[in-house]
């Protein structure tokens, strides 16, 4: 198998963090999105959306979408469990994965698309959309901070896939996109510092 990736991208990075937490090594090939390698016909045959990452299995099956790839490996390597161990923990992790996606990643992505200079040449930007989504991202950060006032990690007291996804999302938002969280969100900052110090964060 081989993992097609662009390691600094937020979605591929989710998978790299997850694999590092699991102790799984997978051969990787970096796809240069800056030269639009991911839009060439042979690549689109693997994933018609052109998105990364993609896991190509030995039989030629291609799995795209970061969480689908993580779930594939979770089924093969259940320990340590990062998607829960029973109905309740699995549901809580799934709930927080959705909340991170809808309340943090989506608005950060909209700021990226409509408010960043690197995407200005690709689409007709709507500056108002970027500003509206900065507000939405701030609300998403507050949602995480409120949760982390009660738990050590996003979905409870142990590290899970939700933390891997949240870290990749926050680093993308607060770094390249330029959507920081407020200094007053001390529990989010405590968590961010803690998970950033884990070896998996630099995978």
**Structure letter (DSSP) for residue 133:** H
**Structure letter (DSSP) for residue 183:** T
Given a cut of 50, the residues of the chain with pLDDT beneath it are none
Q: Which domains does the chain have, with CATH numbers?
A: 2-76 (3.40.30.10), 87-202 (1.20.1050.10)
Give me the pLDDT at residue 26, please.
98
- Among the listed residues 180, 39, 48, 173, the one whose alpha carbon sits nearest the alpha carbon of residue 110: 173
Cβ–Cβ < 8 Å for 141, 188:
yes
- Cβ-proximal residues to 154 (8 Å cutoff; 6+ apart), any chain: 96, 100, 144, 147, 148, 160, 162, 163, 166, 191
CA distances from 86 to 81, 83, 162 (A): 10, 9, 16
Both tokens assigned to 158: 């142990």
Give residue-wise pLDDT tens across range 138-182: 999 999 999 999 999 999 999 999 999 999 999 999 999 999 999
Give me the pLDDT at residue 118, please.
87
């Amino acid at each position: 198998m081989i993992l097609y990736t662009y390691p600094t991208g937020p979605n591929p990075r989710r998978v790299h963090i997850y694999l590092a937490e699991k102790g799984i090594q997978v051969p990787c090939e970096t796809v240069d999105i800056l030269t639009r390698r991911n839009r060439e016909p042979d690549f689109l045959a693997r994933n018609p959306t052109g998105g990364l990452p993609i896991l190509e299995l030995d039989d030629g099956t291609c799995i795209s979408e970061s969480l689908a790839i993580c779930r594939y490996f979770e089924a093969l390597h259940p320990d340590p469990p990062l998607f829960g161990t029973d109905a309740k923990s699995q549901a809580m992790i799934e709930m927080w994965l959705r909340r991170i996606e809808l309340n943090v990643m989506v608005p950060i992505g909209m700021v990226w698309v409509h408010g960043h200079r690197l995407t200005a040449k690709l689409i007709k930007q709507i500056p108002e959309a970027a500003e509206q989504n900065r507000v939405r991202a701030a609300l998403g950060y507050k949602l995480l901070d409120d949760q982390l006032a009660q738990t050590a990690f996003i979905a409870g007291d142990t590290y899970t896939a939700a933390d891997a996804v949240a870290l990749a999302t926050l680093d993308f938002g607060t770094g390249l996109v330029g959507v920081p969280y407020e200094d007053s969100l001390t529990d989010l900052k405590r968590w961010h510092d803690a998970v950033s110090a884990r070896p998996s964060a630099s995978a």
